[in-house]
A and B are shown apart, each in its own frame.
Chain A
Amino acid sequence: MRSVMKIAAVAALGSLALTGCGSKPGSGTSGSGSSGATSAAKAVGKKINACMVLDTGGVDDRSFNQSSYDGMKAANKANPNISIKYVPSNSGADYTPNLTKLATGGCATVIGVGGLMSDNVKTAAKTYPKVHFAEVDAPGTGANFYGIQYNTAQAGFLGGYLAASLTKTGKVGTWGGLNIPPVTIYMDGFTEGVQYYNTQKKKNVQVLGWNEKSKKGTFSNSFTDQNKGKSVSQSMASNGADIIFPVAGGSGLGAGAAAQASGGKLKIMWVDTDGCVSAAQYCKYMVGSVTKNLSGGVQAYLKSSADGTYPTGNYIGTLANAGVGLVDDNNSQPAALKAELAKVKAGITSGSIKITSPSQPTS
């Protein structure tokens, strides 16, 4: 009896794991029916089926999946000839089956979201040469694999400069969800921005939580655990940091809670999206948001595709093309600082200010 139970247990666990993989296509084609009514939309170019494979966060993660799919929706709204749909991934094991399903299921272009599936997309692009692939946050190669990348170190640099200008204690902090390049590129940029401020102003603002040289720093080891995020932020605050820049998705909300618990003594900066929109409850503690225009990149790619040419190579979002940027929250920038930031931005764009983060996208 006992051994039967054990076998049943293993079987049940196994089937649980398997059901996790069998994801069905999302009903993302919504909107195409109604959008015919909107007067702004113009059906131009050829009809294309655009499909998207999302990463594990899901279409409503208020982060990179949602932003990427927003780009699809915007493209569809602007041009109803672009019909859209998405498939969520429940784990890394879903990437290849999802890509295969879409590539063989009549999609003209398949967009993968998030750098984690880049190898899978690369393989799929080789296997299905007639389908055009694109991936958000990974470099593209070959004729049918387009990379949509962002040099977020540039925006992080501006954020670091801003934080260094605003700190009253002379210490700012940054921490990440995991020690992986898409996260640490922000921390690199932030740190370099603070250092640039220090050399310009002959100050000594310290950065807690990240050492660009040794690549070691503070991480909550989670993108969902808010409590750990709050704890990390409070530890930093007790060591003197008064502005904290978390790069950790949902875990980063804990920094907002820490700011709230401090009664506003602690300020935060948000990442990827404008924090006053995506984490509105903590808006009043924000001095700025380091943003990455995922939806814009995806939309531009689809527009070009529908117009007849699938772009090749890479799109790299920069400060110059407004692919990345620094949003001012709560009018935190006095006029003088605003002018300084504009100068720094011009310096980065022109190349007179060099950012050395090795995580920056090249090519």
Chain B
Amino acid sequence: MSAPTTDEELVVHHKVVQVGPSRARQTAVAIALIVIGLFVAIVLASTGTHPNAKFGFDAGGARVHVPTLSLPEAPFCIVVGALIVLAGIYHLVRGFTPAAMRWVGSAVGVLFLLAFLAWAGTGGRTVQFTSLLQQGLFLAAPLILGAMGGILCERSGVINVAIEGQMLAGAFAGALLGTVAGLFAGIVAAIVVGGLLGLLLAVFAIRFLVNQVILGVVLNVLALGLTGYLFDAIMANNSNGTDNPGFFGPAKVPLLGDIPVIGPVVFDQNYIIYAMYVIVIVIDVALIRTRWGLRTRAVGEHPQAADTVGINVLRLRYQNVVLGGCVAGLAGALLTIGSVGAFTKNISSGQGFIALAAVIFGRWTPRGALGAALLFGFAGALQSVLSFLNPPLQINSNLLGMLPYVVTIFAVAGLVGRVRAPAADGEPYVKGSA
């Protein structure tokens, strides 16, 4: 082993075989693309009410005024539709690699959306594009944070159905402490209370091996009942003294906040949103590139193996579940002191479950969950905007509400491939049992 040549002999060359999707699926996706493209180029292009669609880009706080764009709808839709059809034909004949397909899929989604907005904007009312993006991020933000809380738990092998309850408790604590002791105290309280619920989840799931799905459901009911009771007992009759925290106003980042369109959407937000950016990036990087991340994944995939190399499985799970609770608690704070400035019963209204869906649709990765949450949030904003935009054909708001989930199912089935949870997700670890 002294000569470098022997070292080279020891290297085993793995032949990497890129297994593409099956021919049938490729054909199906290609045909779907062509159909979508034709729909845009023919149906959307021909049914606009007016020839031009107006897009507005101004939003509160931006210093740079962007003039309203008047877009000739029919030519735009034809071009966009043709592009999508071309992508479909290419996929049918040559086939995109799975990695490229992901980008192509996203691009097709965005193009379709722009064409659709142009179509909807022909009814005479201006499509406020920047505001639409702002509202999308606003609605997505609690989902993103909630999903991050879920990922922390699930990647280390504990199912977290209790995101909803953690958010609700965080929202309550944020509003209460925010009123009594100031907004920043409210944030801390939300994080602590979320963490406490996380600890409860951890103790019962890890120490007492309770079925984690049931446990999560129970914790949600607990949070709903407890906050409801406390709301009646403390807040209902003294809302000025206990439930009037106000909320964080936007704090514009100098320079960046003045970039047209992007500035007001991304860099003119409140502190919790900025914290959210940091949390997403930190979790994304740490999960893949740090020792903690490697260990977390090991514990979530194969706790026995992790244990044999000396990782304290249970301690790491405790840590991560509590941490996940803290992040979900912060998501709750976003609902009250980050947004509306008052707690009401069941203010989370099921958003914790949508966050859980984002975790799963995002394949338990921070980026995927971020994408899914943004998609959900954006679709929610689109739903309300379309309802008063006066599009050529009024679409039932329930159908629109369904849209993000349909899109996600197609995206997951057609573009992402098989979804696999961490192998030990939901499996309690008992030393020496396996």
Footprint of B on A, CB under 8 Å?
5, 8-9, 12-13, 16, 60, 62, 173, 175, 179, 208-209, 211, 214, 216-222, 224-232, 234-236, 238-239, 250, 253-254, 256-257, 260-262, 280-281
Task: Give the Cβ gap from A71 to chain B, nearest Cβ, in Å.
Answer: 19
Are A231 and B388 in contact (CB-based, < 8 A)?
Answer: no
Q: How far is the CA of A262 from the CA of B249 in the complex (A)?
A: 10
Given A239-B125, A280-B239, are A224 and B349 neighbors across the interface (CB < 8 Å)?
Answer: yes
Q: Is B106 an interface residue (CB 8 A)?
A: no
B340 in contact with A227 (CB, 8 Å): yes
> What are the 3 tightest A-B residue pairs by CB atom distance, in nearest-first order?
A238-B131, A257-B340, A225-B349
List the one stretch of B65-73, B211-219, B276-284 in contact with chain A. Answer: B211-219
Given the known inter-chain contacts A224-B346, A228-B139, A281-B342, please indicate yes or no for A236 contacting B213, CB distance below 8 A: no
**Does B290 reach chain A (CB closer than 8 Å)?**
no
A13 to nearest B CB, angstroms? 7
What residues of B have a CB within 8 angstroms of the CB of A261 in the complex? 247, 249
- What residues of chain B lie closer than 8 Å to A281, measured between beta carbons? 239-240, 244, 341-342
User: 12 new A-B pairs (CB below 8 Å) besides A214-B394, A228-B380?
Assistant: A9-B211, A60-B236, A208-B388, A221-B397, A228-B139, A228-B349, A231-B135, A232-B384, A239-B131, A254-B340, A260-B341, A281-B239
**Is there an interface contact between B387 and A209, defined as CB atoms closer than 8 Å?**
yes
* A173 vs B59: C-alpha distance when bound (angstroms): 19
Tell me if A231 and B139 are in contact (CB < 8 A). Answer: yes
A161, B173: Cα distance in complex, Å: 41
Chain B contact surface mostly? helix
| A104 to B385 Cα, complex, angstroms | 50
Interface size on B, residues (CB 8 A): 48
In the complex, A222→B351 CA distance in Å? 12
Query: Contacts of B134 on A, CB cut-off 8 Å?
Result: 234
Whether B341 and A231, one on each chain, are in contact in the complex, defined by CB atoms closer than 8 angstroms, is: no
A260 to B401, CA, bound (A): 27
- B345 and A280 contacting across the interface, CB-CB below 8 Å: no
Interface pairs (15), CB distance under 8 Å: A62-B236, A179-B397, A214-B394, A219-B397, A231-B139, A231-B381, A238-B59, A239-B385, A239-B388, A253-B342, A253-B344, A254-B340, A257-B340, A261-B247, A281-B342
- Residues on the B chain within 8 Å of A222, using CB: 349
**In this complex, what residue of A is CB-closest to B231?**
A60
Q: Mark B60-95, 1 if CB is under 8 A from A, else 0.
A: 100000000000000000000000000000000000
Q: How far is the CB of B131 from chain A (nearest CB, A)?
A: 4
Within 8 A of A (CB), among B103-140: 125-126, 128, 131-132, 134-135, 138-139
Q: Are A227 and B139 in contact (CB under 8 A)?
A: yes
- Shortest Cβ gap from B377 to chain A (Å): 9
Q: State whether A224 and B397 are in contact (beta carbons under 8 Å apart), knowing that A13-B214, A209-B387, A281-B240 are contacts in the complex.
A: no
Which A residues touch B214, using CB under 8 A?
8-9, 12-13
With the chains together, A40 CA to B139 CA distance in Å? 52
Within 196-245 of B, Cβ neighbours of A (below 8 Å) are at: 211, 213-214, 217-218, 221, 232, 236, 239-240, 244
Known A-B contacts A214-B394, A216-B394, A235-B131; A230 and B384 likewise in contact (beta carbons under 8 Å):
no
Contact among A8, A219, A225, A262 with B387 in the assembled complex (CB-CB below 8 Å): A219
The answer to whether A235 and B345 touch across the interface, beta carbons within 8 angstroms, is: no
Measured CB to CB, the closest approach of chain A to B135, in angstroms, equals: 5
Nearest A residue to B338, CB-CB: A227
Asked if B28 is an interface residue, CB under 8 A from chain A, the answer is no
User: Is B347's CB within 8 Å of the partner chain A?
Assistant: yes
| Closest CB in chain A relative to B392 CB, distance in Å | 13
Q: Do A221 and B139 contact each other (CB < 8 Å), given the known contacts A235-B132, A253-B340?
A: no
Q: Which chain A residue shows the least CB distance to B59?
A: A238
Question: Which one of B131, B138, B387 lies within 8 Å of A216 (CB-CB)?
Answer: B387
A66 smallest CB distance to B (angstroms)? 10
CA distance A192 to B9 in the complex (A): 86
Complexed CA–CA distance, A253 and B235 (Å)? 15
* Pair A226/B340 contact, Cβ less than 8 Å: yes
Q: How far is the CB of A320 from chain B (nearest CB, A)?
A: 33
- Are B397 and A218 touching (Cβ within 8 A)? yes
Contact flag A280-B240 (CB < 8 Å), given A218-B397, A230-B340: yes
